[in-house]
Each structure stands twice: as structure tokens, then as C-alpha cells.
Amino acid sequence: MEVYDGAPKRDIKIILGDFNAKIGREVYYRPTIGKYSLHENSNGNGTRVIDFAASRNIVVSSTYFEHKNIHKATWESPDGRTKNQIDHVLIDGRHCSNVLDVRSCRGPNIDSDHHLVKVVVRDRISIQHNRQPTLERWDVEKLQNEEIKRQYLENLEGKIISGMASGQPNVNDAWNQIRRNV
């Protein structure tokens, strides 16, 4: 909990692991869990995982995707009869749309009673452009006030006269100076 809460909010936080948690398909947990779990009801560990996820706006992605039951089961008992979905993938709610698929892979022999869990994640990288400096915006609404308009025109005339007094010999240079001032 402390590690999760200590991570920066802008980071994509994904929690993966063997929680020994059977997460069911209870309707009242629906904002946090999906409707495609292998189990009907959650066990104690499942309820704790759901409570943790709900308190931090986390989504249990491993129950959000519809697959055959053989692709949901992540643990198989030694006798081969009991199969459970106890390994889960959790991601913060802001980034849950980045998870495209979660399923177990039964093929690879990893010398374990657990199956590998494959997660397909889309990565969105934002590009920082070199921003142009923002231009100074003029409040045109102020020009509706006659006093402010008069002050502005006097200031503009002063800039034009000072520009001409600085020795600008031709009309084009004077016009360019006026355009810059305006």
C-alpha cells in the first residue's frame, strides 16, 4: 500500500501477482472488476484485493476480458481437477484502457502449477514539442472604454514620433516601425 501510494500519480501503475484471490462476478463490485471471472463468488483474499482496488481507483483487468475458461485459469491443482483464477493484473483506473487483453497461456512449461499470464498493454507516449513563446495577447475589450482608447492612441503616437525622431529617413521604415508598435 505504501509503495503504491508513494508512486507519482502521473505514472502508469500496474500490479501483477499471485494474490491467491478468487475474484467473483458480484454485481456490486462491477466498477472495480469485470464480469468475466472464472468464479461466481469472491473468497476472502478476493474481497481484500477488491477493497484495496476500490479504495485507490484501481481496476482488476484480469476479469475484464471474455475468454474460454481454460484461458482464465491461472492455477491448476496437482490432480488436474481443480482450476482457479488466482493470479491477477491490476492497473490504475486512469490507464485501464491501455490494457488490451489478459489471459493465461497454458502451453509453456515453466515447471510450476501456475500458468503464465499474458498481458497486452498499449503504450501511449506523449511528445513534447518545443513550444513557441506565447505572443502577448491584447485585451481588445478595454478599447471600448473611451479613456483607455485615448491613452492607447497617445502612447502609440508617442512611439511613432520617437521612432521618427530616431532618424528613420524613409516612409517604409516608418511604416514598419508603426506595424511593430501596433
pLDDT (tens digit, 9 = 90+) per residue, 89-113?
999 999 999 999 999 998 887 888 8
Distance CA 71, CA 115 (A): 9
pLDDT tens, residue by residue, 58-87: 999 999 999 999 999 999 998 889 999 999
Query: For position 99, what pLDDT does the model report?
Result: 94
pLDDT tens, residue by residue, 163-178: 666 665 567 777 787 7
- How much of the chain, in percent, has pLDDT values that exceed 70? 88
pTM of the model: 0.66
Distance CA 76, CA 93 (A): 30
Cα 153 to chain center, whole Å?
A: 49
Q: Rg of the Cα trace of the chain?
A: 32
CA angle 88, 3, 52 (to 5 degrees): 45
| Joined grid coordinates for residue 155 | 502612447
Q: Count of CB atoms within 10 A of residue 125's CB? A: 4
Distance CA 67, CA 18 (A): 20
| Joined grid coordinates for residue 107 | 502451453
Confidence of residue 145 (pLDDT cuts 50, 70, 90): confident
Q: What is the mean pLDDT of residues 29-46?
A: 94
Distance CA 128, CA 17 (A): 34
Average pLDDT, the chain: 86
pLDDT at 114 exceeding the cut of 70: yes
Residues for the chain: how many in total?
182
